[in-house]
């Protein structure tokens, strides 16, 4: 189909599959570029991988008389060991409930460490950060790649123009063995075309909440959400991560943004921190072969236009991320505020919250938790004095992990608690008790609300 | 999976049942055995779920739901939690992709129909994946609904898990590399 206009999704899948595909096609085998695991799913996936594929490795070894195929494994042990498809394209990131919050979690993390060491897989440390943040900061995931990981918020990597899918334990275990996923339907794309400038106090989180409130939880089912328009072009990478991250909340297959000069700068910064990646990342910059974008004239299954100028600070009320309302219409009291998660705990998120909290105190009824998205963000915020602003205001600052968003660690909610969180899900029971109430907002709204002890419109803190 | 699945509707849910509701996150890391999760299915959302499934001595429960069943987190434990409560199938108005794929990988039957409003608790269902119809017997009335599934999707479901195929691909690759 030479000359047909393609979406970025069709281009990335065509390249990976080695044939020209279009939305709706079913592909038997889709080779992936990258695979990563957290400590929630890695332990059972490792165990299943060993159980399911050990017979294949044993059999192929005995049928090939000469050399061993590959042997990873503890030295001195004669037993034939399994091998993952390509250790350089896999990484392990313990992030959901670390430092370990239970014996079983600690055991799981240790199992990952052992397996990673045997296989030559990169294993990050507890506190290095939330997986989706780490893989982009570290240059592991790059524009134009097909990426799978054992977490639905793998859509986050779409911000750099990668095609990221959350997968379950079984698909991940199979991908670990072969580097492939199977029976893949090439998704259609829903384009969100956003123009104009945000008003002060409004950010990417308000935009994505506004979209969610409109299309609802099932509104992008089986489709990829592509965010475009001049607002997105002017948006920094942190805001783009926030947008793509919450695509799954409208049941999108994933979210994606066409790479541009902002992406290119982000990749250059990555190389500056990791000079050893310079040659590998050369195709990830503007004009590089992996820097693919949707064609003008590509086919979209739906298009929605939005005007950024008219967007107000939004809050998702209990118990759905799509249950949104302008912050100015809500004044519910709250007693917990969480600034963190893979949605909103990066550099500019913390700066925005700190700007409001500077010189002010957290309300006496509020427990404010601040958890930076990664060690890089944490150390940066420490060196720049941003953590000091939070500490002076009376916040609890924790090492980098998913925090109470997972409902198990570092600030689990009691019945009756009312929490405003910068995370992505406020389902009943998500952060602890099913009798708690969770609201979602931007970091600015969260900071203003932490000061006032009730949900507050942050715009009054922006008056000059 | 057999192309014909029968059962009794014992549980009915509305729209947007997410996987956090099916199995809360705090449990996910506490066991590496699939069956563990059955004892906690819908713990915080519908605490009667397990009792209801157990009360059906025929052990042929069918869960009926509205739109977007299984949305949210990619946790495959949500499939195990339902499946190991003697649930033969979920019939809903739609499923997001991750849950659908996780179900297929566990040979768990999930079928989509245009509306579940007229399917009631106690109805007997006969899911025929070959003809792509669900027969509904409510005692007083019998009717059918089309299963809204492409032939390709149906084939994936009937062929069950993919383990055999993945093993074969791995075997070929390992042999080629020696």
Please answer yes or no on whether A221 and B101 come within 8 Å at the CB atom.
no
Topology alike, domains A32-185 and A316-462? yes
Please answer yes or no on whether A152 and B175 come within 8 Å at the CB atom.
no
Chain B positions touching A24 (Cβ under 8 A) are none
The pLDDT of residue A73: 41
Burial pattern A73-89, b for ≥16 Cβ within 10 A else e, equals: eeeeeeebbbbbbbeeb
Give the fold, CATH level 3, of A32-185.
Aconitase; domain 3 (3.30.499)
As for the ipTM of the complex, it is 0.96
Distance CA A188, CA A223 (A): 5
Mean pLDDT, consecutive 10-residue stretches, chain B (178 aa), reads: 92 98 98 97 97 98 98 98 98 97 95 97 97 96 95 85 92 86
Compare all CA atoms of chain A with the CA of B44 and give the residue at the minimum distance. Answer: A434
- A252 contact partners, CB below 8 Å, separation of at least 6: A155, A190, A220, A221, A223, A224, A225
**CATH H superfamily, domain A188-258+293-309:** Aconitase, Domain 2 (3.40.1060.10)
Distance CA A403, CA A409 (A): 6
Least Cα distance to A210 among A303, A301, A307 occurs for A307
The pLDDT of residue A61: 76
The pLDDT of residue A64: 53
Chain B positions touching A59 (Cβ under 8 A) are 171
A287–B contact, CB cutoff 8 A: no
SS3 A329: helix
The pLDDT of residue A287: 81
Please answer yes or no on whether B74 and A166 come within 8 Å at the CB atom.
yes
Closest partner CB to B74 (pick from A151, A222, A249): A151
Compare all CA atoms of chain B with the CA of A429 and give the residue at the minimum distance. Answer: B44
Q: Are A252 and A218 in contact (CB under 8 A)?
A: no
The pLDDT of residue B104: 93
| pLDDT, tens digit, 9 for 90 and up, residues A199-209 | 999 999 999 99
CATH hierarchy code of domain A316-462: 3.30.499.10
- DSSP per residue over A172-226, as a string? HHHHHHHSEEEEEEPPEEEEEEEES-PPTT--HHHHHHHHHHHH-TTTTTTEEEE
| pLDDT, tens digit, 9 for 90 and up, residues A23-72 | 999 999 999 999 999 999 999 999 999 999 999 998 887 665 444 444 44
The pLDDT of residue A72: 42
A105–B contact, CB cutoff 8 A: yes
Helix, strand and coil percent figures for chain B, each rounded to 5: 35, 20, 45
Residue ranges in chain A modelled with pLDDT below 70: 1-3, 62-80, 464
Closest partner CB to B71 (pick from A97, A217, A407): A217
Please, what CATH class does the domain formed by B4-176 belong to?
alpha beta
A25–B contact, CB cutoff 8 A: no
Closest partner CB to B174 (pick from A47, A60, A408): A60
The pLDDT of residue A183: 94
Please answer yes or no on whether B152 and A96 come within 8 Å at the CB atom.
no
Closest partner CB to A108 (pick from B29, B94, B156): B29
Closest partner CB to A170 (pick from B24, B106, B171): B106
Q: Is the pTM of this model over 0.90?
A: yes
Please answer yes or no on whether A102 and B71 come within 8 Å at the CB atom.
no
The pLDDT of residue B139: 94
Domain segments of chain A as ranges: 32-185, 188-258+293-309, 316-462
Q: How far is A434 from chain B (nearest CA, A)?
A: 6
Domain segments of chain B as ranges: 4-176
Chain A positions touching B41 (Cβ under 8 A) are none
């Amino acid at each position: 189909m030479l000359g047909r206009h393609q979406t970025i999704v069709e281009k990335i899948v065509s390249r990976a599959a080695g044939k020209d595909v279009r939305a709706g096609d079913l592909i038997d085998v889709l080779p992936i570029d990258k695979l990563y695991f957290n400590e929630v799913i890695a332990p059972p996936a490792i165990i299943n991988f060993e159980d399911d594929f050990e017979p294949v490795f044993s059999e192929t070894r005995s049928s090939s008389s000469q050399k061993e195929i590959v042997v990873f494994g503890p030295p001195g042990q004669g037993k034939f060991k399994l091998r993952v498809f390509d250790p350089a394209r896999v990484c392990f990131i313990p992030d959901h409930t670390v430092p370990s919050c239970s014996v079983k979690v600690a055991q799981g993390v240790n199992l990952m460490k052992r397996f990673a060491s045997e296989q030559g897989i990169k294993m990050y440390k507890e506190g290095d950060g939330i997986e989706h943040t780490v893989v982009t900061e570290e240059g592991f995931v790059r524009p134009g790649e097909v990426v799978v990981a054992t977490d639905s918020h793998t859509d986050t990597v779409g911000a750099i123009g990668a095609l990221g899918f959350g997968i379950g334990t079984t698909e991940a275990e199979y991908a670990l063995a072969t580097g492939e996923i199977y029976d893949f339907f090439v998704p259609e794309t829903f384009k969100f075309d956003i123009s104009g400038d945000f008003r002060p106090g409004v950010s990417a989180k308000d935009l994505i909440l506004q979209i969610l409130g409109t299309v609802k939880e099932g509104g992008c089912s089986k489709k990829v959400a592509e965010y475009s328009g001049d607002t997105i072009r002017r948006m920094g990478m942190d805001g783009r991560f926030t947008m793509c991250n919450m695509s799954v909340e409208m049941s999108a297959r994933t979210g994606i943004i066409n790479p541009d000069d902002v992406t290119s700068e982000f990749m250059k910064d990555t190389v500056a921190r990791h000079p050893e990646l310079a040659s590998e990342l050369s195709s990830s910059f503007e004009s590089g072969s992996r820097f693919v974008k949707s064609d003008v004239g590509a086919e979209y299954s739906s298009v929605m236009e939005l005007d950024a100028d008219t967007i107000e600070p939004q809050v998702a009320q209990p118990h759905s991320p799509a249950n949104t309302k302008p912050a100015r219409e809500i004044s519910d009291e709250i007693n917990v505020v969480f600034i963190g998660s893979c949605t909103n705990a990066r550099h500019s998120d913390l700066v925005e919250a700190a700007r409001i909290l500077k010189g002010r105190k957290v309300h006496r009824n509020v427990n404010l938790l601040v958890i930076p998205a990664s060690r890089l963000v944490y150390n940066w915020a420490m060196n720049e004095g941003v953590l000091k602003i939070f500490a002076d205001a009376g916040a609890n600052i924790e090492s980098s992990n998913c925090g109470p968003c997972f409902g198990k660690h570092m600030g689990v909610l009691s019945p009756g608690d009312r929490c405003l969180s910068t995370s992505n899900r406020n389902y009943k029971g998500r952060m602890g008790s099913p009798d708690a109430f969770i609201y979602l907002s931007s970091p600015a709204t969260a900071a203003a609300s932490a000061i006032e002890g009730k949900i507050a419109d942050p715009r009054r803190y922006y008056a000059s | 999976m057999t192309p014909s699945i029968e059962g009794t509707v014992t549980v009915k849910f509305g729209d947007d049942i997410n996987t956090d509701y099916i199995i809360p996150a705090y449990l996910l890391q506490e066991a590496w055995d699939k069956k563990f999760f059955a004892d906690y299915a819908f713990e915080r959302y519908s605490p009667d779920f397990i009792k209801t499934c157990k009360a059906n001595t025929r052990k042929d429960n069918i869960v009926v739901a509205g739109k977007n069943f299984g949305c949210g987190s990619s946790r495959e434990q949500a499939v195990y939690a339902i499946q190991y409560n003697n649930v033969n199938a979920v019939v809903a108005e739609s499923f997001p992709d991750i849950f659908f794929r996780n179900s297929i990988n566990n040979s768990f039957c999930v079928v989509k129909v245009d509306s579940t409003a007229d399917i009631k608790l106690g109805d007997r269902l006969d899911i025929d994946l070959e003809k792509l119809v669900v027969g509904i017997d409510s005692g007083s009335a019998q009717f059918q609904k089309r299963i809204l599934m492409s032939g390709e999707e149906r084939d994936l479901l009937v062929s069950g898990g993919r383990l055999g195929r993945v093993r074969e691909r791995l075997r070929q690759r390992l042999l080629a590399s020696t």
